Chain A
Amino acid sequence: MQTYSALQLLRRAFGGHQSWEPLWRQPALKPAYDVVIIGGGGHGLATAYYLAKEHGITNVAVLEKGWIGGGNTGRNTTIIRSNYLFDESAALYDHAVKLWDDLSQALNYNVMYSARGVMMLAHTVHDVQSAKRHIHANRLNGVDNEWLDPEACKAFCPELNISDNIRYPIMGGALQRRGGTARHDAVAWGYARAADAMGVDIIQNCEVTAIRRDATGAIEAVETTKGTVKTRKVGVVAAGHTSVVMSMADVRMPLESYPLQALVSEPVKPTFTCVVMSNTIHAYISQSDKGELVIGAGTDAYTSYSQRGALHITEHTLDAICELFPMFRRMRMLRNWGGIVDVTPDRSPILSKTAVPGLFVNCGWGTGGFKATPGSGNVFAHTIATGEPHRINAPFTLDRFRDGTLIDEAAAAAVAH
């Protein structure tokens, strides 16, 4: 693999930058693999990367229906944080935050991780109590999180309107300084490039049409639009389409797929140096390195695979943005789009083996999966390689819905549900 460095940049500059190689190969689908990953988004590519890197399993195919990172990886608002309430979630998301820290170095690819701080606003007495409860729980779990009064919120984010004559005045905020953003496309490309270099085959434009099982019920092969692949292990990392893929193996999932919208403004000069979220009035916002304000809206009220969403959902979010940040009132919005998110009943993900031998599933990240990409891939790779869950993802089983050991982050998992 060609490495990236200042020296390389200089050297290739003499050739007019004509000599850079493609980031990954375009291999043909082989007839058999040790592991097949269905879904070439951030989580799937990270899984393949850690399978090769930490478990020495390189005979892996990542099958992607469209192009890699073209689903929710390329559609999210790139917020990274780990201030979840329960011990299980804090461990899982903080595992990811720790991996984010030196991910650019590990992949030799700049994922532009920027720990600029994520501030979650409180607008009601209940918000304040809930935020403080989270802060205490986080600190006990070694996750940084601190309480700011309205003036401190304003000092951290000068654009914020903390006057008390707005509909939902700001009563304070919880700040996780290690939270921030990363460049979503770079995450997919960085993992793809590093996995490819270790021998993983990334097959794009390859849709899975069937999952075949042998007489004992175990996974035998996967049928795709590019032919049949024999394999004994399949990892399904298909986000909003997980129910569809799992139904090919006759497994019913506790998932509902909803459209989740986001939008960006016209690009402007750097002005907004942090990430601000408000769960109560439903807005979250940051500024990308291109200068666009990146704004996240909510899910639609009904399940859908339409990859768009209703206008009144984004309107509702923009109402909140205009009230919290009056300086943005005249900004024009450039684009809005929708992605399909798979929501579980307890709003916690599923990283689990299944009743079908050889079939593993990583799904249910709902409206907030991007932040977990490295951690999710890391522990899911462990689960596939060893057949047993990693200590961190052991609570996130599919069986918890039968056993009643839910990880009920509905109140904690930010917005939209």
Chain B
Amino acid sequence: MLIIRCPICGDRPELEFRYGGEGHVARPAATEALDDQTVADRLYMRTNPKGLTVERWRHVHGCGRFFNAVRDTVSDFFVTTYKAGEPRPDLDALKKEAVR
């Protein structure tokens, strides 16, 4: 079982959390004017990377808050977690840091 660091509550077991899918998938503005492909891209198309991924989690059996995490999908290692609303981290910089 993974230990996940909630940015509010600290380290907690995976069972307290619910996965929330790819992070920073922004809802586009002026949805009434969008074409079908743009809507499909937001709803269904996913990066699904092998390596570092940015994703949402919710501490559903704790503080209840959503937050974002950077995780390596090969090792499942959590590189960092941060509060919702904070900017997306630079993955290339994180990769270099991980190598070091």
Which residues of A are interface residues toward B (Cβ below 8 A)? Answer: 241, 243-244, 252-257, 301-306, 310-312, 345, 401-404
Q: Write out the residue numbers on chain B whose beta carbons fall within 8 Å of the beta carbon of A255.
A: 46, 48
B48 touches A301 (CB 8 A): no
Q: Determine which of A257, A301, A345, A401 lies in contact with B19 in the assembled complex, contact meaning CB atoms within 8 Å.
A: A301
B74 interfacial by beta-carbon distance below 8 Å = yes
B48 touches A345 (CB 8 A): no
Nearest opposing residue in chain B for A310, CB measure: B1
B75 interfacial by beta-carbon distance below 8 Å = yes
Report the minimum CB–CB distance from B2 to chain A (whole Å). 7
Known pairs A306-B76, A402-B37; A244 contacts B1 (CB<8 A): no
Which are the 5 A-B pairs with shortest beta-carbon distances? Answer: A243-B48, A254-B44, A402-B40, A302-B19, A252-B45
13 A-B pairs (CB sep. < 8 Å)? A243-B46, A243-B49, A244-B48, A252-B47, A254-B40, A255-B46, A256-B21, A305-B73, A306-B76, A345-B44, A401-B40, A401-B43, A401-B45
State the main secondary structure of chain B at its contact with A: mixed
* CA gap between A403 and B74 in the complex, in Å: 33
Q: Write out the residue numbers on chain B whose beta carbons fall within 8 Å of the beta carbon of A302.
A: 19, 55, 71, 76
* CA gap between A401 and B76 in the complex, in Å: 29
Q: Add 19 more A-B contacts to A253-B45, A401-B43 (CB < 8 A).
A: A243-B46, A243-B48, A252-B41, A252-B45, A252-B46, A253-B48, A254-B46, A255-B48, A257-B48, A301-B19, A302-B71, A303-B73, A305-B73, A306-B75, A306-B76, A310-B1, A345-B44, A401-B45, A404-B36
Report the minimum CB–CB distance from A140 to chain B (whole Å). 30
Report the minimum CB–CB distance from A336 to chain B (whole Å). 15
* CA gap between A244 and B53 in the complex, in Å: 13
A312 touches B15 (CB 8 A): yes
Q: Write out the residue numbers on chain B whose beta carbons fall within 8 Å of the beta carbon of A252.
A: 41, 45-47
Report the minimum CB–CB distance from A258 to chain B (whole Å). 10
Q: Write out the residue numbers on chain A whose beta carbons fall within 8 Å of the beta carbon of B48.
A: 243-244, 253, 255-257, 303
B11 interfacial by beta-carbon distance below 8 Å = no
Report the minimum CB–CB distance from A256 to chain B (whole Å). 6
* CA gap between A257 and B21 in the complex, in Å: 11
B46 touches A305 (CB 8 A): no
Q: Determine which of A256, A312, A404 lies in contact with B1 in the assembled complex, contact meaning CB atoms within 8 Å.
A: A312
* CA gap between A311 and B14 in the complex, in Å: 12
Chain B, 48-79, contact with A by CB distance < 8 Å: what is the 0/1 string?
A: 11100101000000000000000101111000
Report the minimum CB–CB distance from A243 to chain B (whole Å). 4
Report the minimum CB–CB distance from A400 to chain B (whole Å). 9
Q: Write out the residue numbers on chain B whose beta carbons fall within 8 Å of the beta carbon of A403.
A: 36
Q: Write out the residue numbers on chain A whose beta carbons fall within 8 Å of the beta carbon of B1.
A: 310-312
Nearest opposing residue in chain B for A346, CB measure: B44
Report the minimum CB–CB distance from A246 to chain B (whole Å). 9
Q: Write out the residue numbers on chain B whose beta carbons fall within 8 Å of the beta carbon of A401.
A: 40, 43-45
Q: Determine which of B39, B40, B46 lies in contact with A256 in the assembled complex, contact meaning CB atoms within 8 Å.
A: B46
B88 interfacial by beta-carbon distance below 8 Å = no
Report the minimum CB–CB distance from B57 to chain A (whole Å). 8
Nearest opposing residue in chain B for A311, CB measure: B1
A305 touches B50 (CB 8 A): yes
Q: Determine which of B14, B18, B53 lies in contact with A303 in the assembled complex, contact meaning CB atoms within 8 Å.
A: B53
B55 touches A306 (CB 8 A): no
* CA gap between A333 and B39 in the complex, in Å: 46
Nearest opposing residue in chain B for A242, CB measure: B48
* CA gap between A252 and B21 in the complex, in Å: 16
* CA gap between A253 and B44 in the complex, in Å: 8
Q: Write out the residue numbers on chain B whose beta carbons fall within 8 Å of the beta carbon of A244.
A: 48-50
Q: Write out the residue numbers on chain A whose beta carbons fall within 8 Å of the beta carbon of B47.
A: 243, 252
Q: Write out the residue numbers on chain B whose beta carbons fall within 8 Å of the beta carbon of A243.
A: 46-50
B37 touches A303 (CB 8 A): no
Report the minimum CB–CB distance from A30 to chain B (whole Å). 29
